[in-house]
């Protein structure tokens, strides 16, 4: 079966009576060299045996097949049940792959790691469905599962936001939240011509390296800290004080917020996007 040419893919999906679903963000990779490059990037640098991989959204299995050649075990999570019989054919004979017909936004990754990988070092690799990129990333990072690394393809603009530093225009609540859990490295761009159907945007592959037990800041109340991140960026054109006030309405009065900002040594007139994680932590400690 030819998973890496337009004619091969058309044959596979025609045989199965499959049509692409926009709702599920289905843009399948057709460029074998790109698929190999993504799969290679997912293999841990200091490789220790055995290694496992979680894939979100295998589609017809193009990336899955390459991951299966590099990892001892691959678990792929696909929401679209129409793809399951196709995957059974395209991945036939790959004994180290398990496919689950589930929504990645509902999976308990921590218990999946315990049940499926029994102590292996596990990475995540995915050409993410673009409509839920941030939600999937946050779910993976917040799951409590200790991943070795996450090599993920997404829309170029989203990757730029995740890789941005405080003070840059692209920096936002997702950048801050992701940076709390992991360091972010941009790897390479992938042009629209490498997909079928062709998306309107350029894509970028990034690597997230989770801090796991060694986070850059340690807030007393993590939930409050993560809410302060969201509050700081809730209204981008407002000053930090106004943004916090509208987010925490009914919970913290303006005077209390001003007092906390003063205690943390933050000018209430700045914009949220200038705050470092350290400053956000100081603010959440003052509110705690
Ligand atoms: N990995 C394949 C490739 O690179 O050719 C397909 C990638 S395609 C961009 C995204 C895949 O994610 C599709 O197969 C889609 O059905 C699946 N998907 C969309 N939403 C999902 C969800 N919530 N949970 C699991 N899979 C999902």
Q: Which domains does the chain carry? A: 6-210 (3.40.50.150), 222-287 (1.10.8.100)
Q: Which long-range contacts (CB under 8 A, 24 or more apart) does 5-13 make?
A: 5/30, 6/30, 6/196, 9/60, 9/196, 12/60, 12/86, 12/89, 12/90, 13/60, 13/86
Question: What's the pLDDT at 42?
Answer: 98
Q: Using the atom order of ligand 1, give the atom closest to the CA of residue 21.
A: 16
Q: What is the mean pLDDT of the chain?
A: 95
Question: What's the pLDDT at 45?
Answer: 85
Residue 67 has pLDDT above 90, yes or no: yes
CB 246 within 8 A of CB 235: yes
Expressed in angstroms and rounded, the spacing between residue 286 Cα and the centre of ligand 1 is 42
If one residue of 12, 27, 54, 79 were mutated to test the ligand 1 pocket, choosing by the most ligand atoms within 8 A of its CB, it would be: 79
Task: Give the tens place of pLDDT for each residue, 149-187.
Answer: 999 999 999 999 999 999 898 999 999 999 999 999 999
CB 86 within 8 A of CB 13: yes
Determine what percent of the chain is predicted with pLDDT higher than 90. Answer: 92
Enter the tokens of residue 236: 């981008």
Expressed in angstroms and rounded, the spacing between residue 25 Cα and the centre of ligand 1 is 7
CB 74 within 8 A of CB 120: no
CA gap 91, 51 in Å, rounded: 19
Question: What's the pLDDT at 103?
Answer: 98
Pocket, ligand 1, Cβ cutoff 6 A: 24-29, 56-59, 62-63, 77-80, 83, 103-105, 127, 129, 132
Residue 236 has pLDDT above 80, yes or no: no
Expressed in angstroms and rounded, the spacing between residue 285 Cα and the centre of ligand 1 is 39
Question: What's the pLDDT at 53?
Answer: 98
Which of 11-20, 39-48, 218-227, 254-263 is the least confident region? 39-48
CB 209 within 8 A of CB 183: yes
Residue 80 has pLDDT above 90, yes or no: yes
Question: What's the pLDDT at 273?
Answer: 86
Question: What's the pLDDT at 116?
Answer: 98
Confidence grade of residue 145 (pLDDT, cut at 50, 70, 90)? very high
Using alpha carbons, list the distances in angstroms from residue 184 to 11, 37, 171, 176, 210.
38, 18, 13, 11, 9
- Nearest CA to 132 out of 43, 23, 42, 259 is that of 23
Specify burial of residue 223 (Cβ count, 10 A radius: 0-12, 13-18, 19+): exposed
If one residue of 12, 42, 59 were mutated to test the ligand 1 pocket, choosing by the most ligand atoms within 8 A of its CB, it would be: 59
Expressed in angstroms and rounded, the spacing between residue 246 Cα and the centre of ligand 1 is 36
Q: Using the atom order of ligand 1, give the atom closest to the CA of residue 57.
A: 12
If one residue of 8, 9, 27, 57 were mutated to test the ligand 1 pocket, choosing by the most ligand atoms within 8 A of its CB, it would be: 57
SS3 205: strand
Expressed in angstroms and rounded, the spacing between residue 92 Cα and the centre of ligand 1 is 19
């Amino acid at each position: 079966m030819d998973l890496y040419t337009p004619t091969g893919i058309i044959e596979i999906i025609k045989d199965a009576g499959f049509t692409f679903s926009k709702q599920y963000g289905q843009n399948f990779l057709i460029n074998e060299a790109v698929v190999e490059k993504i799969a290679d990037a997912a293999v841990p640098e200091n490789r220790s045996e055995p290694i496992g991989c979680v894939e979100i959204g295998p589609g017809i299995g193009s990336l899955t097949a390459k991951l299966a050649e590099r990892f001892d075990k691959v678990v792929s999570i696909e929401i679209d049940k129409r793809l399951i019989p196709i995957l059974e054919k395209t991945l036939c004979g790959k004994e180290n792959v398990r496919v689950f017909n589930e929504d990645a936004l509902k999976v308990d990754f921590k218990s999946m790691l315990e049940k499926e990988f029994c102590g292996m070092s596990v990475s995540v690799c995915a050409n993410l469905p673009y409509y839920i990129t941030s939600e999937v990333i946050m779910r993976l990072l917040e799951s409590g599962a200790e991943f070795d690394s996450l090599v993920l393809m997404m829309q170029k603009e989203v990757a730029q936001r995740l890789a941005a530093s405080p003070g840059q225009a692209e920096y936002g609540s997702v950048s801050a939240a992701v940076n709390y859990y992991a360091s972010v490295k941009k790897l390479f761009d992938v042009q629209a011509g490498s997909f079928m159907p062709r998306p309107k945007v350029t894509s970028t592959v990034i690597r997230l390296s989770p801090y796991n037990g060694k986070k850059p800041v340690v807030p007393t109340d993590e939930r409050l800290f993560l809410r302060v991140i969201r509050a700081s960026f809730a209204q981008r054109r407002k000053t930090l004080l106004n943004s916090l006030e509208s987010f925490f309405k009914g919970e913290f009065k303006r005077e209390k917020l001003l007092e906390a900002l003063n205690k943390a040594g933050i000018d209430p007139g700045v914009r949220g996007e200038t705050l470092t994680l350290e400053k956000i932590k100081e603010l959440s400690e003052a509110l705690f």
